Amino acid sequence: MEHWIAISLLLGFLSLDATAVGQFMLSRPIAVGALVGLLTGHPEVGLLVGALVELIWIGEVPVGSHLPADLLILAGVATALAGELVQGGAPPEAAMTFAIGTAIPLAILSTELEGLLRRLHVRWAHFAQRMAGSGHFGTFDGVNTFVLLGLFLKGLLTAAASLFIAHLVGKLFRLLPDRAVDGLYYAHWLLLALGCSAAIDLMVEKKTSPFLVLSIVTALTAAFFQIPGVWMVSGALLAGFILTLIYAGKGETA
């Protein structure tokens, strides 16, 4: 795999953003897909993989001690593999479906590793407490740096190993019969349906479902009149903004 080290380093750094540092959302699939796509020379594949992963896993929310799937590894590895497959002549839709499917178990493994590391952090926290109690404040502060270094290494090594495994699995793609590649191609469209479902499951309640129907009907009408996509998104944004204002007003008086 080309750029193996560069992608691993990038994913290692971005993995810090996921929980440990800042959470600026640089570790979200949309950003990761785009960055890995740019790095490997397949920016569109990166955007599309990022969008699909972000959409399907949109409802995964970290609450309490629940660790959601490692979407950074999922999107990063899937983008790298999809780019490689597209370069080898695979249809982009089939390549993306195959690549994401390959990356899911790797992302789950990475999440498990994250859980192990957080158990290890208990020891660091105890050590820090001893240092604080005995007045070694410099060492107390240093724990932060050590743990960040550990997290970076975990991100880097997980990414490197995952990319390598994905690269090997990617070789199986060539062995697939044409029909199966067609199937992966259809599946991509079906996955978009799964993604829309994830968004609906997260957002829509019984009493707000008329808004969904209204939006679909309006977008359909706009599509028949061949109104450009950007205008439709802008329209939805404007309507959403007005609705937010209406509800914000209600919230203050309530």
Partner 1 sequence: MSPDDKAPLRLTFLDLLQCFLRSFFLQAVWNMERYLNYGFAFVLAPALKRLYPVREDRAQALTRHLEYFNTHPYMASFVLGAVLRMEEEKQTLPRPKQKQKEDEINALKVGMMGPIAAMGDNLFWATVRPYCGLLAITLILSQSFAPGTRAWIIPALFLAVFNVAHLGVRGLGFLQGYRQGDQVVLALRKYGFQAAIRGLKLASILLVGVLIVFVNMGELDREVGLFILKLSFFSALVGLFTFALHRKIAPGQLYYAVVLIGLILAYWPELSTPPVLPLEGVK
Which residues ranging from 77 to 136 are in contact with partner 1 (CB under 8 A)? 86, 92-93, 97, 100-101, 104, 107-108, 115, 118-119, 121-122, 124-125, 128-129, 132-135
Stretch that binds partner 1, among 4-12, 153-161, 162-170, 189-197 (CB under 8 A): 189-197
Burial class (CB in 10 A: 0-12, 13-18, 19+), 164: middle
What are residue 65's phi and psi, to 5 degrees?
-100, 5
Q: Which residues contact 246 (CB under 8 A, 6 or more apart)?
A: none
Site residues (CB under 8 A) for partner 1, limited to 41-80? 42-45, 47-48, 50-51, 54-65, 69
- Helix residue ranges per DSSP H, the chain: 4-18, 29-40, 43-56, 71-87, 92-133, 137-170, 178-203, 209-224, 229-253
Q: Decide: is 199 part of the binding site for partner 1 (CB under 8 A).
A: yes
Tokens of 195: 């993604």
CB of 126 to partner 1, least distance (A): 8
- Single out the residue of 1, 161, 169, 232 in contact with partner 1 (rule: CB under 8 A): 232
Comparing CB distances to partner 1, the nearer of 99 and 159 is: 99
CB of 116 to partner 1, least distance (A): 10
Interaction between residue 229 and partner 1 (CB under 8 A): yes
Rounded Cα gap, residues 36 and 83, in angstroms: 9
What's the alpha-carbon Rg for the chain, to the nearest Å? 22
Least distance between partner 1 and beta carbon 222 (Å)? 8
Which of 9, 147, 160, 165 binds partner 1 (CB under 8 A)? It is 147
CB 33 → partner 1: shortest distance, Å? 8
Q: Check if the beta carbon of residue 49 is closer than 8 Å to that of residue 29.
A: yes
In whole angstroms, the minimum distance from the beta carbon of 62 to partner 1 comes to 6
